[in-house]
Structure 1
Amino acid sequence: MRYRLLGKSGLRVSQIALGTMTFGTAVEWSRPEEECRPVFDAFTEAGGNFIDTANMYTGGESEGIVGRLIKADRDRYVVASKYANAVPGTGDPNAAGMHRKSLTRSLDASLKRLGVDYIDLYFVHWWDFTTPVEEVHRALDDAVSAGKILHVGLSDVPAWVVSRAQAFHDLRGLVPIAAMQLEYSLVQRSIEREHLPLAAAHDIGVTAWSPLAGGILTGKYTRSAESGGNNRMDSMQLQPLDERNRKIAEALDAVADRLGATSGQVALAWIMSRGVIPIVGATRPDQLTDNLRAIDLVLDQDVLAELDAASAFDAGHPYSMLEWDMPMALGYGGMFDQIDIPRFPGRR
């Protein structure tokens, strides 16, 4: 295992995080604790220390299981959890949301379920556009001052929200944003437009959920011998197995075959080459161990360029305009091919 600094928090976290959304028995695709422990043990034995959970994963069971798994050596682990979502059917409109009441209730409940005094990294799980950025940020800052959380993150949130929150840190001394958690994979690269440049500019860590696109990037649906001809999509599948994504997966399979690696390993290595930490879940320890081998896989520039081309996406305006000859010529005085221009979406 190798470790990365999580933004400017100073935290040293494993290059791959363990996702625990399947820890518990509350939903059809989750697993009981006795099946989760071997997965956790395999992660720990490999040197993993970054655990990702949330208050609503499997109705709260995930946090409870994580708490019991880390109890013997709690300080070794960097535990990330989240708030703002609530299990449906509570009948309480304030059980969810980003506001201070929701944060206070959710945080105290998470601390109790986890059996810890503090949470290392606490995310706003999603942005509901009902509470001002400064109000959310001040509530998080107060939780840090109270010692209940150590660092703050924002998940599934527009880049402008993160930028505004970071401005409150710069100008008013509120706690900095340590990390963002976003969907990112070869089939979903939209965060390259705004979020990744923002993260680089402010030294914010980025973690990626669904790095294997729900199985699309594992060969599950493209390698007929492995899929057994079964192309039925998983109930948690968020990305479609459309023509574009199938072609990306097939190009990935071809690269993996040349490198003597699995498709999943190459997909994870591609994400890590971007400085992003993939969150990987597994239902069996051998699945996790197989994915962790991506850490030892270094993709050269030709392979990265090949994967980038296979997964190219529409960067949209204004980035797509930067491909036009006129802006490139005028904007750089006709010398764009002689100037070291930073990489941006759509750049040729």
Structure 2
Amino acid sequence: MSLHQYYTLGRSGLRISRLALGTMTFGDDWGWGAAEDTARSMFDRYLEAGGNFIDTADLYTEGSSESLLGKFIADSGVRDRVVVSTKFSYNAQPGNPNAGGNGRKNIMRAVEGSLRRLRTDYIDLYLLHTWDRITPAEEVVRTLDDLVRAGKIRYAGLSDVPAWYAARAQTWAEAHALTPLVNLQLEYSLIERHIEHEFVPLATELGMGITAWSPMGMGLLSGKYRPSEAGGTGDGRLAKISGAPGFDRFTERNWRIVAALDSVAMEIGRPMAQVALNWVATQPGIGSVIIGATKLAQLDDNLAALDFELPYELRVKLDAASAPATPFPYYMYADKQQTRIHGGVAVGSKPSGYAPKVWVDAVPTPELAHKA
């Protein structure tokens, strides 16, 4: 499955690669990223493979990620070819509350900074990075629409927000003929599957393609960590960073998932990382998977993640090992309950071609549509 094959993002005409190049590792300002020469090599290799979708944020490596990416794009003369996605939310001026968050004042400030660092006059996809808990969705949507009309951004989306907030934002945009949101960027992997309850149905119903970040569970699914009496060992961020949200991954459940992944990888003769990425990329609702690396060899391995098809029985094995808990009210929608609701009569979806749902474009391959 070559990166030369492009798919539209959500309900839009924007065509992107199924694997996106994540650039949170561009720059070593945080102590674990890639130096400029390595970052440049990874950028070049991704483009050579046919990729066109590159993700960054003004937060990443304190702005170095955007600056390096802007330099690479300008030097290569590929601005029209690539789809650049960046994000706003995080504060750039400690002590100034309006230099962060999702209010109109900060969005307008942040977009100018990103445009300057990226050395461009427009951003292809501009995303709210993280919900700030205070800014109304209406204010965010109206401001993003203004940026589209001003030509500073082409498309807009959301990342790391509650499902109800995303639904409010999209329905507000639809009701007021404003620029629709085409993307939800969310964490998704074998060890983090909670978006399946709300976000996947929401995105497919309302026309937002999902881009998955951390598809290898902060590196836990790469195979470089192993359980120990202290929780886990390995050479990577998880062994170095403690206490930060999302980095506490050394749990009994997760080690069971790692064991199942290791078994599947050995059976088909593929690296664990490739199997983990392949599983995510071929799940319903996923438009693209964001891959990140600090070494060129890691990127090369990741780019081969779509070169094979995961056998059905092995997918079932991974699904079972990683199945998330089913909280209220979702356990109310199990097959037994539905049978009772419909009086024991089998009620299936409409036949193919009859009033097709709008979410089909967000599903990576047509044959997976039946799983939604």
TM above 0.5: yes
Deviation at 1:75, TM superposition (A): 0.8
Deviation at 1:283, TM superposition (A): 1.1
Structure 1 range deviating more: 17-26 or 73-82: 17-26
Structure 1 SS opposite 2:43? helix
Listed one character per residue, the Cα deviations across residues 165-196 of structure 1 (whole Å, up to 9, x for unaligned) are: 11122211011011000010000000001100
Q: Equivalent of 1:27, from 25, 30, 40?
A: 30
Task: Name the counterpart of 2:313.
Answer: 302
Q: Is the 8 A contact 1:214 1:239 kept in 2?
A: no
The one-letter code sitting in structure 2 at the alignment partner of 1:40 is F
Q: Is the 8 A contact 2:19 2:303 kept in 1?
A: yes
Deviation at 1:241, TM superposition (A): 1.3
| CA distance 1:340–1:239, shift in 2 (3 Å) | farther
Q: Equivalent of 2:342, from 322, 326, 332?
A: 332
| CA distance 1:230–1:116, shift in 2 (3 Å) | closer
The TM-score with structure 2 as length reference comes to 0.86
Task: Name the counterpart of 1:192.
Answer: 196
Alignment of 1:70-89 (within 5 A): 70-71=73-74, 72-87=77-92
The TM-score with structure 1 as length reference comes to 0.92
Structure 2 SS opposite 1:139? helix
Structure 2 SS opposite 1:295? coil
Q: Which runs of 5+ in 1 are unaligned?
A: none
Query: Using the alignment, how far apart are the partners of 2:240 and 2:164 within structure 1?
Result: 33
Deviation at 1:234, TM superposition (A): 4.1
Task: Name the counterpart of 2:95.
Answer: 91
Q: Is the 8 A contact 2:104 2:140 kept in 1?
A: yes
The one-letter code sitting in structure 1 at the alignment partner of 2:51 is G
Tell me, yes or no, if structure 1 residue 233 matches structure 2 residue 239.
yes
Query: Using the alignment, how far apart are the partners of 2:113 and 2:309 within structure 1?
Result: 41
Alignment of 1:1-348 (within 5 A): 1=3, 2-71=5-74, 72-87=77-92, 90-222=94-226, 230=234, 233-235=239-241, 238-274=247-283, 275-276=285-286, 277-323=288-334, 325=336, 327-336=337-346, 339=348
Structure 1 SS opposite 2:26? coil
Query: Using the alignment, how far apart are the partners of 1:289 and 1:117 within structure 2?
Result: 31
Structure 1 range deviating more: 18-27 or 177-186: 18-27
Q: Is the 8 A contact 1:20 1:51 kept in 2?
A: yes
Q: Is the 8 A contact 1:52 1:80 kept in 2?
A: yes
Deviation at 1:340, TM superposition (A): 5.1
Structure 2 SS opposite 1:18? strand
Deviation at 1:322, TM superposition (A): 2.8
Deviation at 1:298, TM superposition (A): 1.3
Say how many residue pairs are matched.
338
Deviation at 1:329, TM superposition (A): 3.1
Q: Is the 8 A contact 2:227 2:255 kept in 1?
A: no
Query: Using the alignment, how far apart are the partners of 1:37 and 1:20 within structure 2?
Result: 11
Structure 2 SS opposite 1:90? coil
| CA distance 1:343–1:13, shift in 2 (3 Å) | closer
Q: Is the 8 A contact 2:184 2:211 kept in 1?
A: yes
The one-letter code sitting in structure 2 at the alignment partner of 1:35 is T
The one-letter code sitting in structure 1 at the alignment partner of 2:338 is M
